[in-house]
A and B are shown apart, each in its own frame.
Chain A
Amino acid sequence: MHMISILKNFSENPAGRYVTDGPNSGQRFRDELLTPALRTHDEVVVNLDGALGFGSSFLEEAFGGLVRECGFAATELTRKLRIVSNQSIYEKRVWRYINAAATQKKRSV
């Protein structure tokens, strides 16, 4: 099991969608931390606690982008990815973005 803490391993203030939006973007989080961890570990736990807050652009790009850009299937992520947060609403949002990206991908195929 591999643990990623947004606060300890990334930033207190995750912000923006693309790397062009800033240094703490969802794209950078996904490409530098999340994707490599998911490719090399059977289980990855992402702890979202401690951050200032999240915008949907960050969450969508970081997690929805796993399906859209990195080729992960939603079912595979259900098996490998676990979201931890003291606010359950964030966990629900992450899975909503993953499932929406999967649905969109299916439609476009």
Chain B
Amino acid sequence: MVFADLIKDYGPSVPWVLAVAGLLYNNRTANHREKRKEFRADIDSIEKVVKELSGKLTTYFRLAEHTVDTKRSEAEIKVLFKELDFKWERLSRRQTGGTLGLFIDPCSQALESLFDQATGQYFESADLIPPADVNGHVSDLQIRSLIFVEALHSLFLKKFDGI
């Protein structure tokens, strides 16, 4: 009897409750999808800068002598690093707290490792890198670039796919 009364009293509002729940669910899913797109776009944008940077660094460290282009090349590399730093800071600010911090650290470490290696000993130096070391140095830089990009993708997978 009590159940019948409940149905009688609240039955008409059930479709409304279902409609509101559906709207909330759709809204939540759409937000998640948008965040995923934004995050993906940020990572793609960072990856693009890393690729450009990697190309510039390869050309720079393969220079056989200091020319008028050397200074321009050094300035371009510094500006690209600045852009990369900005983009990385923006992305990492999206991810504060929680266990994702554990996945931000490897990205930060990979970026710092790339930065130190790229703009360390032989960058903006009066000494050119010894010819015998050029290939090893360039290869090392490319590996560090890939490690950074891989760390970003891991961050994305962890956030959106729980992997």
Interface residues of A (CB under 8 A from B): 13, 15-18, 20-22, 52-58, 60, 87-90, 93, 96
Please, which residues of chain B bring their CB within 8 A of the CB of A90? Answer: 85
B36 part of interface (Cβ distance < 8 Å): no
Main secondary structure of the interface of B (DSSP, over half): helix
- Listed by A's residue number, 12 A-B pairs whose Cβ atoms lie within 8 Å are A15-B74, A15-B124, A16-B125, A21-B124, A52-B82, A54-B78, A55-B120, A56-B116, A56-B119, A57-B121, A58-B124, A87-B89
Return the contact of A57 from the options B88, B112, B120 (Cβ within 8 A): B120
Closest residue of chain B to A54, judged by CB? Answer: B78
Q: How far is the CA of A58 from the CA of B116 in the complex (A)?
A: 11
We find that the number of chain B residues with CB closer than 8 angstroms to chain A is 22
B156 part of interface (Cβ distance < 8 Å): no
Please, which residues of chain B bring their CB within 8 A of the CB of A54? Answer: 78, 119
Q: How far is the CA of A58 from the CA of B121 in the complex (A)?
A: 10
Known: A55-B124, A57-B121. 7 other contacts (CB 8 A): A52-B82, A53-B78, A54-B119, A55-B74, A57-B123, A87-B86, A90-B85
Please, which residues of chain A bring their CB within 8 A of the CB of B124? Answer: 15-17, 21-22, 55, 57-58
Find the residue from A53, A88, A90, A96 having the highest chain B CB count within 10 A: A53
B79 part of interface (Cβ distance < 8 Å): yes
Q: When A53-B82, A56-B120, A57-B120 are in contact, do A89 and B126 touch as well, CB less than 8 Å?
A: no
Q: How far is the CA of A18 from the CA of B118 in the complex (A)?
A: 17
Closest residue of chain B to A59, judged by CB? Answer: B119
Please, which residues of chain B bring their CB within 8 A of the CB of A20? Answer: 126
Q: When A21-B125, A93-B112 are in contact, do A55 and B85 touch as well, CB less than 8 Å?
A: no
Contact at B125–A57, with CB atoms within 8 Å?
yes
Q: How far is the CA of A45 from the CA of B13 in the complex (A)?
A: 64
Contact at B75–A52, with CB atoms within 8 Å?
yes
Please, which residues of chain B bring their CB within 8 A of the CB of A58? Answer: 124
Q: Which of B95-115 touch A at CB < 8 Å?
A: 112, 115
